[in-house]
Amino acid sequence: MHHFARLDRERVRRVGVPEVILGEGKRVDHLLSIVRALSERKLGALLSRPTPAQVRALRAWHPEPGRPGLRFLADDRIVRVPGPLGTRYRHGVAAILTAGTSDVPLAEESRAVLRCLGIRVVRAYDVGVAGLHRLLTALHRVEAQRPEVYLVFAGREGALPTVVAGLVMAPVVGVPTSVGYGRGGRGEAALNAMLQSCAPLAVVNIDAAVPAALFAAQRFAERAPAGARRVLRRGP
Amino acid sequence: MHHFARLDRERVRRVGVPEVILGEGKRVDHLLSIVRALSERKLGALLSRPTPAQVRALRAWHPEPGRPGLRFLADDRIVRVPGPLGTRYRHGVAAILTAGTSDVPLAEESRAVLRCLGIRVVRAYDVGVAGLHRLLTALHRVEAQRPEVYLVFAGREGALPTVVAGLVMAPVVGVPTSVGYGRGGRGEAALNAMLQSCAPLAVVNIDAAVPAALFAAQRFAERAPAGARRVLRRGP
Amino acid sequence: MHHFARLDRERVRRVGVPEVILGEGKRVDHLLSIVRALSERKLGALLSRPTPAQVRALRAWHPEPGRPGLRFLADDRIVRVPGPLGTRYRHGVAAILTAGTSDVPLAEESRAVLRCLGIRVVRAYDVGVAGLHRLLTALHRVEAQRPEVYLVFAGREGALPTVVAGLVMAPVVGVPTSVGYGRGGRGEAALNAMLQSCAPLAVVNIDAAVPAALFAAQRFAERAPAGARRVLRRGP
Amino acid sequence: MHHFARLDRERVRRVGVPEVILGEGKRVDHLLSIVRALSERKLGALLSRPTPAQVRALRAWHPEPGRPGLRFLADDRIVRVPGPLGTRYRHGVAAILTAGTSDVPLAEESRAVLRCLGIRVVRAYDVGVAGLHRLLTALHRVEAQRPEVYLVFAGREGALPTVVAGLVMAPVVGVPTSVGYGRGGRGEAALNAMLQSCAPLAVVNIDAAVPAALFAAQRFAERAPAGARRVLRRGP
Amino acid sequence: MHHFARLDRERVRRVGVPEVILGEGKRVDHLLSIVRALSERKLGALLSRPTPAQVRALRAWHPEPGRPGLRFLADDRIVRVPGPLGTRYRHGVAAILTAGTSDVPLAEESRAVLRCLGIRVVRAYDVGVAGLHRLLTALHRVEAQRPEVYLVFAGREGALPTVVAGLVMAPVVGVPTSVGYGRGGRGEAALNAMLQSCAPLAVVNIDAAVPAALFAAQRFAERAPAGARRVLRRGP
Amino acid sequence: MHHFARLDRERVRRVGVPEVILGEGKRVDHLLSIVRALSERKLGALLSRPTPAQVRALRAWHPEPGRPGLRFLADDRIVRVPGPLGTRYRHGVAAILTAGTSDVPLAEESRAVLRCLGIRVVRAYDVGVAGLHRLLTALHRVEAQRPEVYLVFAGREGALPTVVAGLVMAPVVGVPTSVGYGRGGRGEAALNAMLQSCAPLAVVNIDAAVPAALFAAQRFAERAPAGARRVLRRGP
Amino acid sequence: MHHFARLDRERVRRVGVPEVILGEGKRVDHLLSIVRALSERKLGALLSRPTPAQVRALRAWHPEPGRPGLRFLADDRIVRVPGPLGTRYRHGVAAILTAGTSDVPLAEESRAVLRCLGIRVVRAYDVGVAGLHRLLTALHRVEAQRPEVYLVFAGREGALPTVVAGLVMAPVVGVPTSVGYGRGGRGEAALNAMLQSCAPLAVVNIDAAVPAALFAAQRFAERAPAGARRVLRRGP
Amino acid sequence: MHHFARLDRERVRRVGVPEVILGEGKRVDHLLSIVRALSERKLGALLSRPTPAQVRALRAWHPEPGRPGLRFLADDRIVRVPGPLGTRYRHGVAAILTAGTSDVPLAEESRAVLRCLGIRVVRAYDVGVAGLHRLLTALHRVEAQRPEVYLVFAGREGALPTVVAGLVMAPVVGVPTSVGYGRGGRGEAALNAMLQSCAPLAVVNIDAAVPAALFAAQRFAERAPAGARRVLRRGP
């Protein structure tokens, strides 16, 4: 597209989920160029974690007349560039839990991505292990929807994913969040606790709400008839 | 069972995979007591990573006449206590890849667990990213089996799971291995690289071959009619 | 006593608990000299974690005729030098819980110290959070004894002390254990998780079973009429 | 209460101390909603460490006429939402010491919590070990009040709790503070030094003034007749 | 030059590359004094990473009439003080690759230095390993220029230098960039992955674009007839 | 003095150097109270590293008429409260060296302290090991003054103190500075390199310019006739 | 070759240096199978760091009659499997320096690899910076051979590569060694110091003598007429 | 001397203390060659920390007839090769203190070095801060000898050097020891605590008993008439 960016439009056909363009770390003009190019080619996309300066620039930008504008989701942490994402998913439900209130903005990021892909989400927030009763009540309500995958967000001591993975049959992905201070703060204790868990549990990085959502989405992806194999046959 | 151990036979009904008893860290007599109690009750189980002293004791132990003996798999890293595990899985294939030859013993641990559960495994070993050609040839062969989940083992720089997760549609779980020396050795660099990956990738802890296998197995587990929900309804 | 060791016999009067002599790190002959000197003066003491070489030497040593011999407790991790410890405690119960079987040897170290001091202990082992049901059953049994303090041992993800501290009224002290491998292993994840806990929880160092026992014992210590204050008045 | 927060009003009955709502990390509107809901239900609460933006919002907020307003304590680090906290404590004294002047704001946080709960506090500030004389003079004055528990705050080398725990009979809780620069700064050296202490000493996380206060308060909590046990009997 | 700075004008004769003056960490007036002194003596130089305040001061500064002004390159990250640098290089091509768009500003820093020294650069940006196809296409184009050295920039999992070093014959220098968040973020995972690489790969520090450029430039430096040896003969 | 601060005026008699009051981390009003109290009692003192807000407050403050005002040294990093410090030193010279220009502000901090105490300082700045020639020339000039102690400041790779300690007979104290970026930046590499040095070298913490100056000053302190011993005799 | 190993014989054509098979971490029978297969195909190879058990097995193994046996170099740290390596290098000299005597075994590993490839090596050992005089004398002798690349080994404070890179024109690769104890020991301080160096310096991992040798060897590799490009053209 | 070792006999004239040859990490035959060469030239030397294998070889070695044999000190941790060391010191006393019994072997290492150099040592062992009374009694006795420098050894929380440096006028050097387990163990907490100390305190690395002794010895070294300056004048 430009000398500084090459979008990978084939990725969704190979791996079943679209590339999500990370805002953080990119220059504002670089990001705008990417969005403009996508819009001109009538291609949809997802942006994540734009910086405040990027959000201002994106809100000030408008597509050519007749084209739909950007949609800002999850308190501006996810931006939907309208147009096809190239994905198709079967029906199914994903569950999102958080241990505390401070984890909610990250959980909403995952939820926005999953909903942009058309996947239904059931959520239960602020259900950490220091109050087992509220956790079990909430989990009972969530299980009634028969979710096929759980994303469980927790900062601080990060115990919630372990407890949930000891109670439900669907795979649980732990998402440590950068909540907490002092030794083990900023998500370090939570990440390590999840890695040490005795329960069957896979994890993503601290605050990695978008990769977690994409990993969960793959479960619902419908394999294109000859998709990934063809890519491999002709060489990458 | 004893004052020092309480087996969780309900776990398999709640979460779809059996508890695996870790040998490391347990006293030899504690481990033998557990095996004896299981055998007396005609319950099956899996043990992982017995120490050399534990292996000697287990090999010297024999069940009561007429009962089948222990099976030692994956170079004695997995031990099968005969008897029902309480699990049932639908058909399906899991793929196991390793970046190097030194990762093979860990990969074989995962493979032994999956095979004990009746899940078919396709494997490709020593296919690291420093030789892309051999990786792509191997991946082409593996994809032909249409695996539904990948376990990708890599030590040192840990790049293989990222590359694979950029090429296939099934979910990829990275398993960092304690291979490598110096700064970032013992699996630290590999784990962190997988956590930083741009591809949709979930990880388990360094050398966590058994948890990875259980996480993969959950994908094939058949949900018991009223399983986890009942557990939750009556309280844990 | 010797140029290499000065026992602090006043400590028990100042702080309510006796000094415990750590075996690890001391030369065998230094440790024997200390024991011999104590025995000659008819003073009791506790030794912790003698090395195998120290245990051999201590078992080979015998006091002068008519004096009782050493007692070896908790699989030789605690040694009681007979004679008065200078402490007096009111009645009461302490509870000791462990998350797994591998934590038991450390828990038994704490229990041996508390029992040497005459404090009653109720215990529940292998009741980790991956199986909530067995935890709650065990906790119900323990609470029936109305313990005034809890020592909760956990390695790996270290979640048990947090869950317990959210359920009981007595103060909970978390003891991380060096159980677990890979990132966060050797007790690091457990320690940090306990430090991050939202529940009211104090912690001691990894594997610090003896300091935890002493901290718990202080709760039962009877303050000598003019004890610590006198020490302070005349200057330390 | 809301989809993003579930207050645990039962906690005080189970564990003897009320939940304290942490400001940091919460969105301003989330925090205000919680306060509003509490006030409407005439429930008291404690907030800790509101951010400057949260403080501004809280100061601008007023309860319905006739209801008492918020009280701001310890330089706005603790906020008291008026109304019952559901706690009752017997008489007794807690001691709070700091090694330096920079530790004072944190110590005042603990003191505000304890005083909100009705517990008397005796304090001695800036009494670090580099000047033993002033420490011993101050400790003599403090001991005269016969405190039943000590909270000892220290940053930098964190030696004060060890020295105090070698001189007094009441249990000592070390609170490392994020004071100090360079290697071991931000409380790391202090925390580790306290964990390594030879004296009977329990610790909380760096700057964890509120958890330390709650742990100390438990000592004075009066057990409700059937409290925690009932919770456990009916399941959490 | 001043009591606070001593420029090493001999360095270029000894080691083949000029000293580059780092802006960060220097006081604005110190930096201006250095530039003024250089200009008065008609000596050229390179400055790197001036802070915003330094850039403002440098832009406001003007040399004496008739002398050329400063040149600002790579978005003000490199500043060229006009005048001779004392270097001479043979013809040749260096290649610069980046894994992502966020690495581009650092790569442009290296490119500006190399171009100031008169070395030709071929570049390929945003060609990370998650999309092998675009990497191989770009590498094919780059190899056609027969570069004699590669600088490969990558943050996050840092896999690109390993893959490139497995495909090309010219030496590859990995430059980890401070891109990425959570565990292993800020370039830590990338640096360690490069250090662990199985391919022949040398690395520089995180974000060390200027040292990497100088290391690459040495390859093209023409050895002065008696240069370094004379320095050694007379003693440094 | 106040409930939040207790000055240790005896310290200088015990240890030969005055207490230096650290500004950082103290509340502005606390710091001003201390200064006011000192001034009223006609006691001198040194403050270090006041924050910008503290500097503004200190500059706005004026002593009672007839008393000399505060003196601001080393770019406001050291503030001299006029009045006796209680110290007396014999003649002698201390040397201060820095590896780079960015280390100069810290070196000037040490120099200001030493000069306030009346100790003569010879300095050589920006003489790092990458240019041995300028180092040796400078060292020759410094040695001509026969310094009795060296303070050697270095960030980044921290090699200068090792090289100097291999060339001179006076004791060398290494002062690592928080200069440098990436892995080992902020002084970490420099501190560790100094700790690993083969040369006889003692170190202080990163950026610890004031403690280094006090440690050096002790060498010149004249022992009061009965000083420290008397303190010890009557107890601390 | 086997299911556990796939040798990359094309690598030398692509990257100019042969694969070196690391012994550490491989099972003895796996390693022997690889050697046997190479010998049967009359292919040469290099093995590095065989464990003592591997060395015993390799010494006991003998090729078929008429084939030359294995050669053990550098105290058995490098093993040469006879036969063509597929490499060709132009004339030239590489220099190898060490800071201490303890670095010599690692330096000899690099030297053995370079000599197996036919590259001439000049060496100077135990010339660390604490004795500048012996360093400069040795460097003078080494420079007389006009080396085109330097490998400089140093543990502890790791300053030697920086000093050398400030004196010579050829590129310098620093090799940190796991020499040293305490904080920054096992090569950590040395690695970080080299990464922080102001001089143009690239580094490899701690103890990475073989990768360093291969990186140096690439400088002398003669590019095959259509080598790497062809590999890229047909896809990897 | 050999290609693997170059002794620096000039060092003692430049820096006032002799080089001490570290045993650890050297091959046995290398170390013996060095000792043999020294003995043949009738030069004295100190060896530190020989490994058990080195001790055996050294004890089996005998000098030529008529020459005195090696002396083994401090439990074989220091070995004296007889012959002149080239040093001369004025009279004076150094003090050595340890916090615990486990620190004694390291303290004895320092004492052996100082005594080989002819410096008188006064010692007080096992006087840690958990028992202030025994510390003050011991310190009173030590101060009576008027030591000019203190070496204070402490592991675990490392508080002793801080307390001593707040009580005495002579410079205090803290020596952290690798005593302690869990978080902050192996001397890490002690080192960091000493670096954070508010008292004037310089430190050496963990277990660095020999460098500490040499640093202390410099205080007593008599400057050769034209020593270091001449070295610098003629270039190193």
| Among the listed residues D200, D195, D191, B5, the one whose alpha carbon sits nearest the alpha carbon of residue C176 | D195
User: From the list C101, C104, C183, which residue is nearest B191 (CB)?
Assistant: C183
Q: Inter-chain contact A189–C189, Cβ cutoff 8 Å?
A: yes
Q: State the pLDDT confidence band at C228, using cuts at 50, 70 and 90.
A: very low
Question: Beta strand A71-73 with A78-81: parallel, antiparallel or unpaired?
Answer: antiparallel
Q: Inter-chain contact G204–E205, Cβ cutoff 8 Å?
A: no
Q: What value does the mean pLDDT take over residues E39-46? A: 90
Distance from C-alpha of H129 to C-alpha of D166, rounded to nearest angstrom = 8
- Measured CA angle at C173 (ends C169, C178), to 5 deg: 145
User: From the list H163, H196, H197, which residue is nearest D132 (CB)?
Assistant: H163
Distance from C-alpha of E112 to C-alpha of E71, rounded to nearest angstrom = 11
Prediction pTM value: 0.95
Of C9-13, C131-135, G98-102, H132-136, which one has max mean pLDDT? G98-102
Q: What value does the mean pLDDT take over residues C206-220? A: 96
User: From the list E131, E188, E193, which residue is nearest B159 (CB)?
Assistant: E193
Residue numbers in H near D162 (CB within 8 A): 129-130, 157, 159
G235: distance to nearest CA of chain A, Å? 6
Question: Which tens digits make up the pLDDT trace of C85-104?
Answer: 988 899 999 999 999 999 99
Q: So what's the pLDDT on residue B224?
A: 58
C231: distance to nearest CA of chain F, Å? 13
Runs of H (alpha helix) within chain H: 11-15, 28-40, 52-60, 104-116, 132-143, 160-165, 188-195, 209-218, 227-233
Q: Inter-chain contact C157–A158, Cβ cutoff 8 Å?
A: yes
User: From the list F132, F194, F199, which residue is nearest G130 (CB)?
Assistant: F199
Sequence-distant contacts of D53-56: CB under 8 A, at least 24 apart? D53/D28, D54/D23, D54/D26, D54/D28, D55/D79
Q: State the pLDDT confidence band at E88, using cuts at 50, 70 and 90.
A: confident
**Residue of D104, D109, D127 to mutate, interface with F, max F Cβ within 10 Å:** D104
Question: Beta strand B71-73 with C71-73: parallel, antiparallel or unpaired?
Answer: unpaired
Q: What value does the mean pLDDT take over residues F64-73? A: 90
Annotate D76-131 with three-state secondary structure: CCEEEECCCCCCCECCCEEEEEECCCCCHHHHHHHHHHHHHCCCEEEEECCCCCCC
| Residue pointed to by tokens 């601008």 | D60
Residue numbers in G near F189 (CB within 8 A): 189, 192-193, 195-196
Runs of H (alpha helix) within C117-159: 132-143
Q: So what's the pLDDT on residue G45?
A: 92
Question: Which tens digits make up the pLDDT trace of C96-127?
Answer: 999 999 999 999 999 999 999 999 999 999 99
| Among the listed residues D87, D107, D106, the one whose alpha carbon sits nearest the alpha carbon of residue D95 | D107
Provide CB contacts within 8 A for G21, sequence distance 6+.
G7, G31, G34, G45, G46, G47, G48
Distance from C-alpha of B106 to C-alpha of B123, rounded to nearest angstrom = 13
| Residues of chain H where predicted confidence (pLDDT) is lower than 70 | 1, 224-236
The DSSP secondary structure of A173-184, one letter per residue, reads: EEEE-S---STT
Tens digits of pLDDT across chain D (236 residues): 577 888 777 888 889 999 899 999 999 999 999 999 998 888 899 999 999 999 999 999 998 888 899 999 999 999 999 999 988 899 999 999 999 999 999 999 999 999 999 999 999 999 999 888 889 999 999 999 999 999 999 999 999 999 999 999 999 999 999 999 999 999 999 999 999 998 899 999 999 999 999 999 999 998 754 444 444 444 43
Q: What value does the mean pLDDT take over residues A16-30? A: 92
Q: Which chains touch E (3 or more CB pairs under 8 A)?
A: A, B, F, G, H
Question: Which tens digits make up the pLDDT trace of A170-187?
Answer: 999 999 999 999 999 999
Runs of H (alpha helix) within C144-187: 160-165
Provide CB contacts within 8 A for E13, sequence distance 6+.
E86, E224, E227, E228, E231
Question: Which tens digits make up the pLDDT trace of B109-160?
Answer: 999 999 999 999 999 999 999 889 889 999 999 999 999 999 999 999 999 9
Residue B232 has pLDDT above 70, yes or no: no
Supply G154's token pair.
Answer: 């140093």
| Residue pointed to by tokens 């004379």 | E230
Q: What is the DSSP letter of F79?
A: E
User: For C8, which residue in chain H has the nearest alpha carbon?
Assistant: H131
Supply F45's token pair.
Answer: 């003192």
Q: What value does the mean pLDDT take over residues F181-208? A: 95
- The torsion angles phi and psi of H97, rounded to 5 degrees, stand at -120, 150
Q: Kindly tell me the burial class for residue E108, based on how many C-beta atoms sit within 10 Å of its own C-beta (0-12, 13-18, 19 or more).
A: buried
User: How many CB atoms sit inside 10 A of residue A60's CB?
Assistant: 8
Supply C90's token pair.
Answer: 């009111």
Element (H, E) at G94: strand G93-98
Q: What value does the mean pLDDT take over residues C128-141? A: 92
H121: distance to nearest CA of chain D, Å? 25
Average pLDDT over chain B, rounded to whole? 91
Q: So what's the pLDDT on residue B113?
A: 97
- Euclidean distance between the first and the last CA atom of chain D, given in angstroms as a whole number: 19
User: For C19, which residue in chain D has the nearest alpha carbon?
Assistant: D199
Tell me the sheet residues that pair with E79.
E47, E72
User: For F179, which residue in chain E has the nearest alpha carbon?
Assistant: E25
Supply G162's token pair.
Answer: 């920086």
Half-sphere exposure of A203 (CA within 13 A, CB side): 40
Q: So what's the pLDDT on residue F231?
A: 45
Q: So what's the pLDDT on residue G4?
A: 81
Q: What value does the mean pLDDT take over residues F172-176? A: 98
User: For B7, which residue in chain C has the nearest alpha carbon?
Assistant: C126
Q: So what's the pLDDT on residue E4?
A: 81
% of chain C residues with pLDDT over 90: 76
Q: So what's the pLDDT on residue F224?
A: 58
Residue numbers in D near C209 (CB within 8 A): none
Of A128-132, E146-150, H226-230, which one has max mean pLDDT? E146-150
The DSSP secondary structure of E159-223, one letter per residue, reads: -HHHHHHTT-SS-EEEEE-S---STTTTTHHHHHHHHH-SSS-EE--TT-HHHHHHHHHHTTBPP
Q: So what's the pLDDT on residue A8?
A: 77
User: From the list C5, C187, C236, which residue is nearest H132 (CB)?
Assistant: C236
Signed CA dihedral, F208, F212, F215, F217: sign only: negative
Q: What value does the mean pLDDT take over residues G134-140? A: 93
Distance from C-alpha of H113 to C-alpha of H213, rounded to nearest angstrom = 7
Residue numbers in C near F236 (CB within 8 A): 235-236
User: How many CB atoms sit inside 10 A of residue H151's CB?
Assistant: 28
Distance from C-alpha of C41 to C-alpha of C35, rounded to nearest angstrom = 10
Supply F196's token pair.
Answer: 């690993």
Distance from C-alpha of B137 to C-alpha of E96, rounded to nearest angstrom = 29
Q: What is the DSSP letter of G91?
A: S
| Among the listed residues F150, B64, B164, the one whose alpha carbon sits nearest the alpha carbon of residue H202 | F150
User: How many CB atoms sit inside 10 A of residue C141's CB?
Assistant: 12
User: From the list F129, F191, F193, which residue is nearest G163 (CB)?
Assistant: F129
C13: distance to nearest CA of chain H, Å? 12
A230: distance to nearest CA of chain G, Å? 15
User: How many CB atoms sit inside 10 A of residue A44's CB?
Assistant: 16
